[in-house]
Amino acid sequence: MAEYINIRGQSIEVVASDPANPTLGQIWYNSTSNTLKGENFGAASWATGGNLNTARGNLAGAGIQTAALAFGGATGPTGANSSATEEYNGTSWATSPGSLNTARYALNGAGIQTAALAFGGEASPPITGATEEYNGSTWTTSPGSLNTARYILGGTGTQTAGLAYGGNTGTGFTAATEEYDGASWTAGGNLNTARAYMPGGAGTQTAGLAFGGYSTAATGATEEYNGTSWTSVNSLNTGRLGMGGDGIQTSALAFGGRNPPLTDLTATELYDGISWTTSPASLNTARAELAGCGTQTAGLAFGGNQGPPFLAATEEFTGAAPTTVTITAS
């Protein structure tokens, strides 16, 4: 029988405890547990988190997986507009005493849990360009509204450097992009594909990513923004609208959404700055018009609907990463 040293050119180290920082492919024998172990690449997964207190769809989100913010949306059987704001601590959601000043759905957001930005949406009626800033406890209406009022738009960035793009103005889909400086919105370069039903995208004001949505059909079109103009790049593998998204321009996550007429999706895709790859890990609950935030390796999906009903379900994404495994005979 061939020995490991002859196959790999090295011996198996015998240790009393697992190495603190093993490298991928490293193998060792733990003499305390009498097990053969190694460092492998663990699979990505979605796990159930704590439910929102208010089930809703077409809401917005901001923050990271362990400090997230959910706000606005449509609730109840009649789809009434919500102003409710909730904060997530990595385990459960707590209702904030600070509600949006303008109740609305199909808005978008940016920023972090203690410094978030809300903009656009449908206030039943009208379609609005209203912008609000959250300080961790209350929302304040900004004097600077979007120049083009719209809903089901895309957005990303921070509270003082936000980016809004696309959406529906009530008369049609727009390609208009606007940049927020903490006080007012100014025009940026137009999207190459006018569309709506995009997620809270990924990235920053000067390195943004827009993906998916609906133009003449559900699309996988992806564009990168450099602070001045948009460039079309490789598309999503599954065209869809109303999905969730998070991350940065070179490391983004897309999940859920709908492929019309009524196929709600669980598919998850990862973007590496060049192309999208379908993850083997799918959402546990198929849904569209959900919100998302976080990073590619630690994402958060919450809310949404299935046609309705509206959902309160929250899921946490853990990306593939190195992990220690016990090696057994196969």
- Is the C-alpha dihedral spanning 273, 277, 281, 284 positive or negative? positive
What percentage of the chain carries pLDDT values higher than 90? Answer: 83
Residue 323 covered by a domain:
no
pLDDT value, residue 330: 56
> Are residue 204 and residue 297 in the same domain, yes or no?
yes
Residue 89 covered by a domain:
yes
> Are residue 64 and residue 37 in the same domain, yes or no?
no
Residue 164 covered by a domain:
yes
3-class SS string, 275-316: CEEECCCCCCCCCECCEEEECCCEEEEECCECCCCECCCEEE
CATH number of the structural domain spanning residue 171: 2.120.10.80
> Are residue 15 and residue 155 in the same domain, yes or no?
no
> Are residue 78 and residue 117 in the same domain, yes or no?
yes
> Are residue 197 and residue 65 in the same domain, yes or no?
yes
| 3-state SS class at 137 | coil
pLDDT value, residue 87: 98
> Are residue 103 and residue 252 in the same domain, yes or no?
yes
pLDDT value, residue 323: 72
- Residue 60 contacts residue 71 (beta carbons within 8 Å): yes
Confidence of residue 7 (pLDDT cuts 50, 70, 90): very low
Whether residue 1 is predicted with pLDDT greater than 70 in this model: the reply is: no
pLDDT value, residue 10: 57
Residue 328 covered by a domain:
no
Minimum mean pLDDT range among 59-68, 108-117, 196-205, 282-291: 196-205
> Are residue 36 and residue 111 in the same domain, yes or no?
no
> Are residue 33 and residue 85 in the same domain, yes or no?
no
> Are residue 26 and residue 162 in the same domain, yes or no?
no
> Are residue 8 and residue 67 in the same domain, yes or no?
no
Confidence of residue 22 (pLDDT cuts 50, 70, 90): confident
Residue 326 covered by a domain:
no
Residue 327 covered by a domain:
no
Answer yes or no: pTM beyond 0.95. no
> Are residue 34 and residue 65 in the same domain, yes or no?
no
Per the model's pLDDT, the better-predicted residue between 124 and 63 turns out to be 63
Whether residue 9 is predicted with pLDDT greater than 60 in this model: the reply is: no
Q: Token pair 């669980």 is at which residue?
A: 266
Q: Which domain holds residue 26?
A: 4-42
> Are residue 71 and residue 174 in the same domain, yes or no?
yes
Overall domain count for the chain: 2
DSSP 8-state class, residue 5:
H
Residue 50 covered by a domain:
yes
Residue 51 covered by a domain:
yes
pLDDT value, residue 314: 98
